[in-house]
Amino acid sequence: MKIIVCIKQVPDTKGGVKFKPDGTLDRGAMLSIMNPDDKAGLEAALTLKDKYGAEVTVLSMGLPKAEDVLREALAMGADKAILVTDRVLGGADTWATSTTIAGAIRNLDYDLIITGRQAIDGDTAQVGPQISEHLNIPVISYAQKIEVEGDYVIVERQFDDRYHVLKAKMPCLITALSELNKPRYMTPGGIFDAYDAEITQWGRADLKDVDDSNLGLSGSPTKIAKASDKVRKGAGEKVVLDAEESVKYIMDKLNEKHII
């Protein structure tokens, strides 16, 4: 079985977000990490590899430094890594991004494509389903469990108050939730091997069956009109009280606001 996992390098928002003095986001000051949902997707692929035997290829589109997350993926146990990077691909929205990644994937053999549900920087959850549409294969999003049965995958898809157990013929695309699993750690030896490994680099010329008009900033249907940092409402009162006093304080406020 051949599995492709799409991963994205994102700024880590977990350890707090850094701002520049002018109030804009300081992306440079934040660590770059592998997007959590993508990492869950990689773990799902590696679990399938452990169970059924598979070749796992990780693919990322991004700046040259996205190589770091690909090495991380290799250190976790992926077999091959491909970086799609080219100036003309920059500034892409989800449409142009999915077009690019689909163009790269057309060069590869695969049974299964796994992407994370969404990236923590964009939060769009669009690229996975859009890739599947470009490649004309079925998609199952929000996978919380993945099994393989012959040429089929059996997937539990999570929805709000229910889940569906679905069966799709491969090749197909699955989007993974970070709740799907707890990703394994890299191994120290895996890290050493990952830095000896070759990472394939592809540019615009390597993309198959894509039109320039669908790539990069100019090929993106959506345009940013304006972006700004969110203004939060200010903090209210803050008191340090013991339990009895706290209760009295809260009761007063609830009465004041006519809640009780």
Partner 1 sequence: MDLNDYKGVFIFAQQVDNKIDNIAYELIGKGKELAAALNTTVTAVLAGYKVKDLADSLAEYGADRVIVVDDPALEVYMTEPYTHAIASVINEFKPEIMLVGATAIGRDLGPRVSARVATGLTADCTFLEIGTFHEKENQLLMTRPAFGGNTIATIACPDNRPQMATVRPGVMQKLDPTPGAKAEVVEYNPGFTPDHKYVEILKVVKEVANVADIMDAKILVSGGRGMGSPENFKMLEELADALGGMVSCSRACVDAGWMPKAMQVGQTGKTVRPNLYIACGISGAIQHLAGMEESDVIIAINKDETAPIFDVADYGIVGDVKAIVPKLTEAIKNSKA
Partner 2 sequence: MDFSLSKKHLLARALFKEFAETEVKPFATEVDETEVFPRHTVEKMAKSGFLGIPIPKEYGGQGCDALTYVMCVEELSKVCATTGVIVSAHTSLCCDPILTYGTEEQKQKYLVPLAKGEKLGAFGLTEPGAGTDAQGMQTKAVLDGDNYVLNGSKIFITNGKEADIYIIFAVTDIVTDKRGRAKKEISAFIVEKGTPGFDFGTKEKKMGIRGSSTYELIFTDCRVPKENLLGVKGKGFGMAMHTLDGGRIGIASQALGIAEGALDRTVEYVKERKQFGRAIGAFQNTQFQLANLATNVQAAQLMVYKAAQAKSTQKRYTVEAAMAKLFAAEVAMDVTTKCVQLHGGYGYTREYEVERMMRDAKITEIYEGTSEVQRMVISGDLLS
- Least Å distance between CB 226 and partner 2? 36
Choice from 50, 167, 203, 208 touching partner 1 (CB under 8 A): 167
Distance of CA 248 to the CA centre of its chain: 46
- Draw the binding track, 59-78, toward partner 2 (x: CB under 8 A; -: no contact): ---------x--xx--x---
Interatomic CA distance for residues 52 and 70, integer angstroms:
23
Q: How far apart, in Å, are the Cα atoms of 20 and each of 13, 27, 30, 120?
A: 15, 9, 11, 20
Range in contact with partner 1 (rule: CB under 8 A) among 45-53, 73-81, 118-126, 189-197: 118-126
Interatomic CA distance for residues 260 and 258, integer angstroms:
5
Question: Does residue 215 sit in helix, strand or coil?
Answer: coil
Q: Is 223 in the site for partner 1 (CB under 8 A)?
A: yes
Q: Is 150 in the site for partner 1 (CB under 8 A)?
A: no
Q: Is 199 in the site for partner 2 (CB under 8 A)?
A: no
Choice from 185, 228, 237, 242 touching partner 2 (CB under 8 A): 185
- Draw the binding track, 180-219, toward partner 1 (x: CB under 8 A; -: no contact): ----------------------------------------
How many residues does this entry show for the chain? 260
Distance spanning both ends of the chain, measured CA to CA: 61
- Least Å distance between CB 113 and partner 1? 14
Distance of CA 212 to the CA centre of its chain: 25
Q: Is 20 in the site for partner 1 (CB under 8 A)?
A: no
Helix-helix angle 94-105:127-135, to 10 degrees: 50
β pairing state of 172-176 and 162-169: unpaired
Range in contact with partner 1 (rule: CB under 8 A) among 41-49, 51-59, 64-72, 159-167: 159-167
Q: How many residues bind partner 1 (CB under 8 A)?
A: 80
- Measured in degrees and rounded to the nearest 5, phi and psi for residue 132 equal -60, -35
Choice from 20, 65, 109, 187 touching partner 2 (CB under 8 A): 187
Interatomic CA distance for residues 129 and 13, integer angstroms:
24
Choice from 53, 136, 188, 189 touching partner 1 (CB under 8 A): 136
Please give the residues from 46 up to 75 whose contact with partner 1 meets the rule CB under 8 A.
Answer: none
Q: Is 31 in the site for partner 1 (CB under 8 A)?
A: no
Q: For residue 124, with 0-12 CB atoms within 10 Å meaning exposed, 13-18 middle and 19 or more buried, which class applies?
A: middle
Binding site residues, partner 2, CB under 8 A: 68, 71-72, 75, 184-192, 194-195
